[in-house]
Amino acid sequence: MKRWAALAAVVAAALLAPSSAYAHAVLVRAVPSASRVVDRAPGQVRLTFSEPVEPRFAAISVTDAAGHRRTASNPRRPSGDPDTIVVALRSQPQGWYLVYWRVISVDGHPVRGAFTYAVGPNPGPAPQFVVPSVSETAATPRLLAARWIVTLAAMAAIGLFLLRILIARPARAANLRPVTVAFVIATGAGLLAAPVYLVLATAQFTLRSPLDLGALAPLLDVSAFGRGYLDLELTLALFAFAAGVAIAVDRPERPRRSVAELLALSGALLAAAAVVLIPGVSGHAGQTSPRGLAIALDWIHLAAGSVWIGGLLGLLVLWRTAPQALAITVPRFSNVALAAVGALIATGIAAAVIHLPALSSLWDTGYGQALIAKIALIVAALLLAAVNLLRTRPRIQSGRPAASRLVSGEIVIVAGAVFAAAVLTSLAPPAKAVADLGAPAARVGPGRVHTTAAQAGYRLALTIAPNRAAVPNRFAVTITKDGTPVQRAVVTAGFAMLDMEMGRQAYRLPEAAPGVYGRDAPALVMVGHWGLTIDVEPPQGRPFTVTFLDKANG
């Protein structure tokens, strides 16, 4: 009871409390600072993030130019500071060092980064460190497959139950037994797949083997992501029990339900509602503002999809086992499915408006591209559903035989859309900075950048070398007007990660030569798309900004 009370409190808080959109762990402060030369070797590395991070899911390595590790302990959290993790260091001779870090955000998305510092007083030039891969994703094939199975099984179980207990109920009880069996299979698959997925995800996030259950078991509930999937398992088990009781006491031969039937049905429906609520509370919707609206849209979207795909599966089961029940079930399901599809489309559009900061993020980010794939699959399923509605339903109502191939095809396409949804939930939504980016003057990268742009009568030549993530890069801007170098301007370079919310960095570019402004900076901390803004304040004239879209590889 205590766990259920805590779950109810979490749900209520999620619905009522305000939230920042797309909260991800952003490195806000490091000691020693990035690219800083310190006179004395530090005894530890201290990293502070924008949200609490779990040390048992964190990895921090400190290596010298030869690749020798200098860390002396595992990451730990200082007392009373949940946003910070520290790692002790061994002795560090004079020279440059690479700090590489990896943490897990609240919603289960891994985030990586790297920076360098030097121990002086004369460390020499910074070497080219071999940086581990800084591209990170929770959308690996194994995790995607497991997440898809969990989502598809839970949705199918709910839809099959609703078909059995509400839509197809006027048919004879004997005809409904195969639907009940299908419900049991789907529920069992969901109950088995959810903990398997949680173990696989925890193993990947902690860089352990999935077979190391002794080490993984204590870590399953230490993150918000893990607790969300444990809550999903609990609610799915409760739904399985409540739905089983509702089916056991149901008497389809009686038009009016008894009090016991109504109570059992109400309990099962509430449990089903909790199942489709948990993914939103613990996923993207729970980290998006306005939180209450985002969670409501996600809940309706999942519920409508469950009615659609579970009902289709139930119709296919009846087609193969009790075709005589179709004359009653198909017309009733068609009406319900039409409303469900309408709700699915409406909530999908509204959620896309909330999650996508700009139309361009549909094709500029992996999240948007996965959304396009999902939309295409749903449109294909709708076209097939229209054919079913116009051709298959009249044939069944008139007593003529009808093939089930169209329904099978509709199920396959909808299942593909659920897979696309699993990809979406495994990717971080694009950052709000995409909306602020506007139309870039140029799209550059990957690799070394040398491009020019014109703005407000000025000409800017931008150079980025080597344009690689997680290493210091040289950013240089040459500014001229009518062929004459523009001197004594105030030039600031701003960097915003576009593939996920990570905050914005800004660096002042000092004037190195007449009209040439530049510096080395560890600004590109992750592989992906970056919005680069060059803010220029000329000594005479109005300030202006030039924007570039950069792709940085590892």
176-197 pLDDT tens trace: 899 999 999 999 999 999 999 9
25 pLDDT band (50/70/90 cuts)? low
User: Please, where are the H alpha helices in 450-524?
Assistant: none
Query: What do you get for the CA distance between the two ends of the chain, in Å?
Result: 49
pLDDT greater at residue 444 or residue 326:
444
pLDDT digits (tens, 9 = 90+) for 357-397: 777 777 767 777 888 888 888 888 888 777 777 776 676 65
* Amino acid sitting at position 131: V
pLDDT higher than threshold 70 for residue 552: yes
Q: Is the dihedral of CA 264, 269, 272, 278 positive or negative?
A: negative
> Containing H/E element for 528?
strand 528-537
Write down the residue that tokens 């089930």 correspond to: 404
Residues above pLDDT 70, as percent of the chain: 86
Q: Is the model's pTM score more than 0.75?
A: no
pLDDT higher than threshold 50 for residue 168: yes
pLDDT higher than threshold 50 for residue 505: yes
**Distance between CA atoms of 247 and 264, rounded to whole angstroms?**
8
Among 39, 58, 268, 75, smallest CA distance to 162 is for: 268
What's the mean pLDDT when you consider all of the chain? Answer: 82
pLDDT in the model for residue 475: 95
Tokens of 506: 């800004």
What are phi and psi for residue 105, nearest 5 degrees? Answer: -75, 170
pLDDT digits (tens, 9 = 90+) for 206-224: 777 888 888 888 888 877 7
Taking phi over 0 as left and psi of -120 to 50 as alpha, with beta for the rest, 541 belongs to left
10 pLDDT band (50/70/90 cuts)? very low
pLDDT in the model for residue 249: 93
pLDDT greater at residue 518 or residue 379:
518
pLDDT higher than threshold 50 for residue 496: yes
**Distance between CA atoms of 126 and 119, rounded to whole angstroms?**
11
pLDDT greater at residue 263 or residue 30:
263
Please answer whether residues 381 and 414 qualify as being in contact, where contact means their C-beta atoms are separated by less than 8 angstroms.
Answer: yes
Highest mean pLDDT among 289-303, 418-432, 453-467: 453-467
pLDDT higher than threshold 60 for residue 1: no
**121 upstream amide cis, omega within 30 of 0:** yes
